[in-house]
Structure 1
């Protein structure tokens, strides 16, 4: 008996066929099957299949319709990322549903999410809404924190953090529902620049590199509570700091060899277009749109994570 592993499409699972040896010889001559090997354990077959599948994805095996769907997903995720944060849940979910292994999905998601933070960052910078000199230490701290988080996630399983995450995100939603006026900035930041850089930059940056879900909302919350910004100004700067953590994650995921560049670059374009639209909305109607968007996205993310766990 010979076991064959057959990939039927880029977005479906492999098919396992057990065929008598004499029939298998004639089938392998047609080059339909990817491999022929003796019967091994299921774990060995899974490892072999994942290696083959990753190599095929890196050579742009996927078809046009798949790329088109993922482009539209990235477009919507980019808009959400800029307006409220949390678009990564949509894009990562789509990548996992398409059949990518979790490590590849996380790495590829970082390529495309760079599109939203880069596009929105440039848009806000050109219009004078971000003073780079005032936030350079936060930016640098976010880069270093994300680099550490991205390195660790490739070696350990964040089981405890995944269980705590729905509670944290629900807390964010509750705050934005019941918090007093968020449209007026505070006269003086509640904490020092060093402490703010440590918590918002290094802390949230580490989380963004380690898991990343809803990091934009956490950046926004830090800018409101710890730096005294109004909600629209906080959201603008959260996109800028998120750029640092995205760049760091991409660099360190490249070293891990998990990127699927063809798919990531297509989604990068989608994210960029969605982010451009989102940035326009933030400047035009930010104070009215950002708060309800953060609440809605946070609740949806929490419900989705709780359903996945239980």
Structure 2
């Protein structure tokens, strides 16, 4: 019971962070490994996905009510992201993803420096593409980052947000809303794979899912109320935390 209380609290906070800008795995995955140090990593990763997908789906639904999204372009992109995630998960069974461990903190650092240098980045919503062009560009982003999510994973939400801002011209609020839709798709792919191998503790995931949705509710409301500037600030904090975490894993552990 004590362990579930800890995980529920961690999931609540993770749901809040995920709803605003992504990166809740920074909180929930270490909590799972701390509470169940002897468990198989695949089971803990699967349980994390089984819980966090509900908060992400809830956030997607809430954003959709308040933020105008081009569903005609983004739904096909989400489908492509799902396929990309499957492809990435299959590829990692054939190729070692270790080379990404050292490259990731450097890539994230470049994203952070670029975001900080461009003070106006993501503050105004000015889409650069329309019609089929937006569909194709969004699908390309979905394919690449979906593949990355299945192949390796850390920072997926941040990469989605950054590319939707930088490439498509979205503000951080619209980019975050769109990233949630993509994350739901990639998480569904991951859950399907983990569940088929029996790597999800559904009874634990259910408790965490309830807390995750509650955290998501608070995070979504704050993001919608405070707008793109708040989401940008959270993005900077989360990417900074990701750099520290992935840098430690790559070079110090």
| Length-normalised TM-score, structure 1 | 0.74
User: Which 5+ residue runs of structure 1 have no aligned equivalent?
Assistant: 1-63
The answer to whether structure 1 residue 242 and structure 2 residue 183 are counterparts is yes
Please say which structure displays the higher CA radius of gyration.
1
- Native 8 Å contact 1:184 1:229 kept in 2: yes
The answer to whether structure 1 residue 132 and structure 2 residue 71 are counterparts is yes
Per the alignment, residue 85 of structure 2 pairs with: 146
The answer to whether structure 1 residue 260 and structure 2 residue 201 are counterparts is yes
The answer to whether structure 1 residue 283 and structure 2 residue 224 are counterparts is yes
| Alignment partners' CA distance in 1, 2:5 and 2:95 | 33
| Alignment partners' CA distance in 2, 1:183 and 1:189 | 17
The answer to whether structure 1 residue 273 and structure 2 residue 214 are counterparts is yes
Per the alignment, residue 249 of structure 2 pairs with: 308
Q: Deviation string for 1:134-188 (max 9, x for gaps)?
A: 3121111111011222334456542111221111222222222111412112353
Decide which structure has greater strand share: 1
- Native 8 Å contact 1:91 1:109 kept in 2: yes
Q: Per the alignment, in what secondary structure is the counterpart of residue 183 of structure 1?
A: coil
- Native 8 Å contact 1:151 1:252 kept in 2: no
The answer to whether structure 1 residue 228 and structure 2 residue 165 are counterparts is no
- Native 8 Å contact 1:118 1:243 kept in 2: yes
User: Which 5+ residue runs of structure 2 have no aligned equivalent?
Assistant: none
Per the alignment, residue 96 of structure 1 pairs with: 33
Per the alignment, residue 21 of structure 2 pairs with: 84
| Length-normalised TM-score, structure 2 | 0.90
User: Per chain length, whose mean CA-contact separation is higher, i.e. which structure has more relative contact order (CA < 8 Å, sep 6+)?
Assistant: 2
Decide which structure has greater helix share: 2
Q: Per the alignment, in what secondary structure is the counterpart of residue 168 of structure 2?
A: coil
- Native 8 Å contact 1:189 1:226 kept in 2: no
